[in-house]
Amino acid sequence: MREKDGLWAILCWLSILEWRNRDVPVGELVGVDVIMRQHWQRFGRNFYTRYDYENVDAAQAAAMMEHIRSLAASPPPLDGFSIASIDDFTYTDPVDGSVASKQGLRVLFADSSRIVLRLSGTGSVGATVRIYIERYQPPDDAAALEADSGDALAPLVALALDLSRVKEFTGRDAPTVIT
């Protein structure tokens, strides 16, 4: 099964729907779309996508990560975006205190958007390059909350692909999978 987390998401939504509809008369059920829009109106919306480039040359994938890492000292000027920082993400387990370093490179922007690049499955067969792209839309613009995810993320996706030089490093014109 490719993405087991999806099963947990479905169970979570079923629990939310059951709770929200516990006292609702039959035929007047509250759906996922209503719950999402109410949430967006109160808290804003997070747009998200992930691009996976599977089975790429591990050395080229590592070189791409070093390229991004090298930008941290002097982030390039970008049209429409301002880089706040570029860092190597390190995770410290709150239970046992173990530390996992180099879990991904984060490109953080002044508007709270971010691009995260990480390698998965490195080994003798190759690597998977994962590029996560996220953008937050505050609740103050109702029309922007309703935007298509692809449209809302298009400028940031173009920036991520350009900044990472993923085509140059992987030789791929397109990702293997987009989620």
In the block, tokens 């808290």 appear at 43
CA atoms of 90 and 3, how far apart (whole Å): 23
CB atoms within 10 A of CB 46: 13
Distance from C-alpha of 7 to C-alpha of 5, rounded to nearest angstrom: 5
Q: Which whole number is the average pLDDT over 121-132? A: 77
Average pLDDT over residues 113-129: 82
pLDDT at res. 3: 64
- Alpha helices by DSSP H, listed for the chain, are 5-20, 32-43, 58-70, 142-145, 149-164, 166-170
pLDDT confidence bin for 47, thresholds 50/70/90: very high
pLDDT at 159 over 80: yes
Kindly report the CA angle at 175 between 172 and 179, in degrees rounded to 5?
A: 175
Tokens of 101: 């370093």
Tokens of 23: 């006292």
DSSP 2-54: --THHHHHHHHHHHHHHHHTTTPPTT-PPPHHHHHHHHHHHH-EEEEEEEEEE
- At position 39, the amino acid (one-letter code) is H
Other Cβ atoms within 10 Å of 32 Cβ, number: 11
124 pLDDT higher than 70: no
The fold adopted by the segment(s) 45-178 is TATA-Binding Protein (3.30.310)
Closest to 125 in 3D by CA, of 172, 55, 52, 54: 55
**Separation CA 20–CA 15 (nearest Å):** 9
Give the pLDDT confidence of 72-97 residue by residue, as tens digits: 888 887 878 888 989 999 889 999 99
pLDDT at position 122 over 70? no
- Judged by average pLDDT, the poorest of 34-43, 70-79, 90-99, 133-142 is 70-79
Q: How many CB atoms lie within 10 A of CB 37?
A: 14
